[in-house]
Amino acid sequence: MEWHHAHDLGVPPERTCAELAEAHPDQAELIWAWSRRSEEMISGPIDGTVAILSDLKAAGVPCYALTNMERETYPLRRERFEFLRWFDGTVVSGFEGVAKPDPAVFELLLTRFALEPSETVLVDDSPVNVRAAREAGIHAIEFHSPERLRHWLADAGLLDGRPGR
């Protein structure tokens, strides 16, 4: 995970793969495959979450993305998956040099898009990232399934555009 975290911070995979392959020559082919064939590992979106994003946008809820992703892969995925172009703004760790759960990345998101922490909801599948967002004053929920997320958002009034219901 430490090796991969470097990519999230913007270190080029060509550099980290070369270093790791040199340290583990018996695994060099697999190490290089991770970088050169990464798009093959991404099977596609979770349809239920894409539907939720569509519903939030239809309800007039501003939506932003905060993603730990490599600078090399984000443009490929944004082109490949239309829903990544639906966000009102995006912070990509690989371009910023800071990644979740570092508090600085949450501050960057809030500042860049003039968001109030107490009026911001973050959905993340990592408990560590959820805790860090909460420490930054953001409402954060841990993603388990589209069904549970939809239920939470409906209870919060966000799916019908009436937050705080």
Taking the C-alpha atoms of residue 44 and residue 106, their distance in angstroms, rounded to an integer, is: 26
- Reading the chain (165 residues) residue by residue, the pLDDT tens digits are 788 899 899 999 999 999 999 999 999 999 999 888 888 888 889 999 999 999 999 999 999 999 999 999 999 999 999 999 999 999 999 999 999 999 999 999 999 999 999 999 999 999 999 999 999 999 999 999 999 999 999 999 999 866 654
pLDDT at 48: 96
pLDDT at 162: 65
Considering the domain 47-155 in this protein, what is its CATH number? Answer: 3.40.50.1000
Q: Helix 103-112 crosses helix 127-135 at what angle (to 10 degrees)? A: 60
Q: What is the dihedral of CA 95, 99, 104, 109, to 10 degrees?
A: 60
pLDDT at 76: 93
pLDDT at 35: 85
pLDDT at 163: 62
pLDDT at 1: 79
What does the domain layout of the chain look like in residue ranges? 2-41, 47-155
pLDDT at 165: 42
pLDDT at 39: 86
Taking the C-alpha atoms of residue 34 and residue 26, their distance in angstroms, rounded to an integer, is: 15
pLDDT at 38: 85
pLDDT at 79: 95
Strands 121-124 and 139-142: parallel
Contacts of residues 77-86 at CB distance under 8 Å and 24 or more positions apart, as own/partner, are 77/39, 77/42, 80/39, 80/42, 81/44, 81/45, 83/45, 83/50, 83/53, 83/54, 86/53, 86/54, 86/57
